[in-house]
Amino acid sequence: MWLQQREAGGGLRHTCEQGDGLASYGWLRHDGDNFGVQDVRDRGLLLRTEFVKRPGGEHGGDWSWRVTARPEGAGSPASLVSLFFYVATDGQGTLRPHVEDGTRLAAVTGTSEELGDFKITFLRPTTESGEDPKYSSYHYLDAWSPGLHRLTDVVRSSLSDRFVFSPPGGPRQRFLAVDTFRGLPGAAEAPRSHLLLHQVTLRLPARVEVTFESGSVRDRRGPLVGPALTAELARHEAAFERRFEETFALERKGFPPAQRRFAQAALSNMLGGMGYFHGHSLVQSPLHEHPVPYPESSLFTAVPSRSFFPRGFLWDEGFHQLLLARWDPELSREVIAHWFDLMNAEGWIPREQILGEEARAKVPPEFVVQHSETANPPTLFLALQRLLGTAPLPYLRRLFPRLRAWYEWYNSTQAGPLPYTFRWRGRDADPERFLNPKTLASGLDDYPRASHPSADERHLDLRCWMALASQVLAEAAERLGEPAEPYRQMQRALSDNELLERLHWAEELGAFADYGNHSRAVGLRREAVRAAPGRPPPAPRLVRVVREAPRPRFVGALGYVSLFPLLLQLLPPDSPRLAPVLAAMRSERQLWTPFGLRSLARDSPLYMQRNTEHDPPYWRGPVWVNINYLALRALHAYGSRPGPHREQAAELYRELRHNLVANLYRQYAESGYLWEHYSDSTGAGQGSHPFTGWSALVVLVMAEDY
Ligand code: 6A9
């Protein structure tokens, strides 16, 4: 945690929150294992945090952190800053403080189940170069918290402004420091976390180092601090640069240094954002009246956004692993194994993983419950496809029964009304409340589907995902010598273009489409809401009006869903449908923008329409990187296979790649972030940020690694 001691009092920061408006923050380099460098830019203060791990012993070895704080931009030099370093237990383990001179927490010794015995040492601060000691004030806190999710409150409620910073010969300044802990306001919760916190207060610039030494490491070569730490950081830095170039070859491809740093930051944030979560999901199943807690489980996973969505999302993860599988296939296999271990007895994996108190603290209650009939695209098959060739057979053998169970779950629970059709379950139940009831299961939330949800729907994207799943299952079965024919047979049926056309080609739209009970004339009408007595009238409510009766027909929406037969490469290179699909992609009236492919055609009825007064358009226009990645991957393939559209696909590929990369880089350079999605009219980043989940696939696009 840190605090800029300003005359006005300053604000304590623990985590970087999107709403705080920080100029930027994130990992610049991170190898996912032993090394990372991160910058946090907070209103005139630049914090650089660096760590190195040194493996050894039986508990993961030693590590050291270095924090360098300096003023930046409009920040005033020599301003007073506090850095807080803490250690806390999480339900088990013990901690013992070692205090010097009454207020300086010099070290913490302790033990825990996972770490065994350890010692954490807080070194005395130095100047930025590390050469000279730096005058500082020290305070410490020894407190109990109901859990890790309340630590900020514990510290904030312990701050007092009765302290005065008075360096010899320098100006005096009042400041905030931790004082005695008097308990948290509100209902008493049982203590679960023992917290020991070390506060250092000093003038900028400065540097502080912290070491963690594991009790089971023998023959330590001396502490990992000062010049030794500098040398280790430099060694890891050079190794990272080499490995990055060996893996992605961006320098060889001619990307200038600034763009390479952008790509490194994208990868590093995905790696550095990975988390190890533990807890249980809350699940609503048709068997129970109320949601029930699932058994506790652990999940090692990447996340879409470190600050805004710091938890696992099923279909996001398949995209994350496309990138991570290139950087570190073993890490990727481990993550995928964790995900498959979350499967229930029926073969279902919950879509959003909100495990533990810390994760739950970030989610509004209405989003916590997962529904056991709701799917999410099986993108883990995309990642597996990439890993199949090199995955060790024993790993595949253990995974295979789960792959089969998952596949069968989709086949049996998401089946459509006709043979070889599929339907997402769990669309919004109350259609009258929405312009078009959402389909969260598909991952494309508000992308237009049939206006009146029914059992007669056929969803094209799910059908294409199942073709991919069948193919990957067949390949896995073949590698293991298991019967592959049922999967091959399914793959053939799902990629039979004649059948695909009959089920999903909408002649009137000139595109592939969903089918269902659909009205072409649906709108939202403003309806005044009566004011409560003595209150100002609330904003008008939007209610849905249906001006044309729905009937079974193709859904008149052209967008990402229409592209799926191309995206997952189910169209043969000589398909007569390739021409109209490519034309829709390249048309500026439809999907083409200078920033990437937009999610819904500009001439589509629901283009950029709100779904309710509270729901702005999401997958109804903006440019999303995951689908653009799939498009590039497909265009790259069509552009390198003989066929009548080879040249056109190759040309589209070059232009689209250029547009996507140029815009993501420009937005990053201007705003300091990668974003959840991008405006199709200006290219500006939108939604959650930093979003270094699938938006980080830009690295693979730069590398042309599909
Ligand atoms: C809302 C907000 C403080 C929505 O990237 C994760 C998912 C995607 O899987 C999905 O395709 N995102 C996309 O349409 C974000 C979903 C966030 C839902 C939770 C809570 C409060 O946060």
Q: Which of 309, 360, 689, 692 to mutate to test the pocket of ligand 1 (most atoms within 8 A of CB)?
A: 309
Distance 443 CA to ligand 1 centre (A): 9
Give 445 Cα–ligand 1 centroid separation in angstroms: 9
Give this prediction's pTM. 0.96
In angstroms, rounded to a whole number, what is the distance separating the alpha carbons of residues 540 and 321?
44
Quick one: what percent of the chain has pLDDT higher than 70? 99
Please say if 676 is a catalytic residue: yes
Dist. CA 278–CA 297, nearest whole Å: 6
| 24, 263 Cβ separation under 8 angstroms | no
CA–CA gap between residue 45 and residue 75 (Å, rounded): 6
Alpha-carbon span 218 to 221, nearest angstrom: 9
Q: pLDDT for 377-432, tens place per residue?
A: 999 999 999 999 999 999 999 999 999 999 999 999 999 999 999 999 999 988 88
Alpha-carbon distance 671 to 306, whole Å? 17
- At residue 514 the predicted structure's pLDDT band, cuts being 50, 70 and 90, is very high
Q: What digits encode the pLDDT tens for the residues 58-85?
A: 999 999 999 999 999 877 778 999 999 9
615: which 2 tokens? Answer: 């729901």
Tell which wins on pLDDT, 107 or 532.
107
Query: What integer is the mean pLDDT of 618-628?
Result: 98
Task: Give the number of other Cβ atoms within 10 Å of residue 385's Cβ.
Answer: 18
Q: What is the ipTM of this complex?
A: 0.97
In this predicted structure, the answer to whether residue 45 has a pLDDT above a threshold of 80 is yes
Distance 309 CA to ligand 1 centre (A): 7
User: Is 445 close to ligand 1, i.e. is its CB under 6 Å away?
Assistant: yes
Catalytic status, residue 341: no
Active-site option among 445, 456, 615, 705:
445
Over the range 598-624, which residues count as b (16 or more CB within 10 Å of their CB) and which as e? bbbbbebbbbbbbbbbebebbbbbbbb
Which tokens is 449 given? 């589907």
CB 58 within 8 A of CB 217: no
Q: Is residue 629 classed exposed, middle or buried when 0-12, 13-18 and 19+ CB atoms within 10 A define those classes?
A: buried
Q: How many residues can be counted in the chain?
A: 706
Position 521 scores a pLDDT of 95
